[in-house]
Copies of this chain bind each other. A is one copy, B any other.
Amino acid sequence: MAKSSTEHIKKIRIGRAAAKLFSETGYLDTSMSEIASAARMSKGGVFHYFSAKDEVLCFILCNYMDLVLERLEEDLEKIGDSFSRLQFFISRHIELYEKNAAESRTLLHEAHNLPPKHFKILAEKEKKYFQVLANLLLDYLGGSIPKARLTAMAFTLFGMCNWIYQWYDPKGTLTPKELSEMIFGIFSAGVNSYEQSKRA
């Protein structure tokens, strides 16, 4: 195995352990020693890969956003109609969110702790994701929509999806598939009806 690959695997291991701690205890309350211990490494070992705790945070959040963006546009292009594309976008968002619960919770709760230069990198990735959704909505609703309205619609959907970290238990009665279907059902019909009322 090449050195760079081994290094990346080690970084992933540290990132996973740290994300779990950050999402449970909070970023500020977690020390590099605790991260090392959770990753079953020495503190020196962790410092070999990350020079500071904010570098670990940046690695976790940027990696998560890369996963969110990975093949997104290519996969959307393969789907024929905008109704199904919106459905795919929502179910994919919920699935990624649930499968990477520690990372997604850390993104929502701790991103503001990133130093400006790292925050900027993350914000660029988030902006790209937002833009994919905004284009999808334009396509779904047809015609032109004022920018402020389109932005609010997109963030209303993100709100429906992301708020689940406050209340949703994937092991409860409602399956992640049912949850996605509900959010898609409410949003797709609702946004269509709202947009028609604005144009009437």
Contacts and interface: CB of A to CB of B under 8 A. Distances in A.
Interface of A: 26, 28-29, 109, 112, 146-149, 151-153, 155-156, 158-164, 166-168, 172-174, 179, 182-183, 185-191, 193-194, 197
A57 to B, nearest CB: 14
B152 A159 contact: no
B163 A158 contact: yes
A182 B151 contact: no
28 contacts: A26-B28, A109-B109, A146-B173, A148-B172, A148-B173, A148-B174, A149-B182, A152-B168, A152-B174, A152-B179, A153-B182, A153-B186, A155-B163, A155-B167, A156-B183, A158-B163, A159-B159, A159-B163, A160-B160, A163-B163, A185-B190, A185-B194, A186-B187, A186-B191, A186-B194, A188-B190, A189-B193, A189-B194
Contacts of A109: 109
A163 B156 contact: yes
Contacts of A153: 182, 186
Nearest to A179: B152
A77 to B, nearest CB: 27
Nearest to A173: B148
Contacts of A152: 168, 174, 179, 182
A91 B190 CA distance: 17
Contacts of A164: 155, 159
A146 B158 CA distance: 25
Contacts of A148: 172-174
Contacts of A172: 148
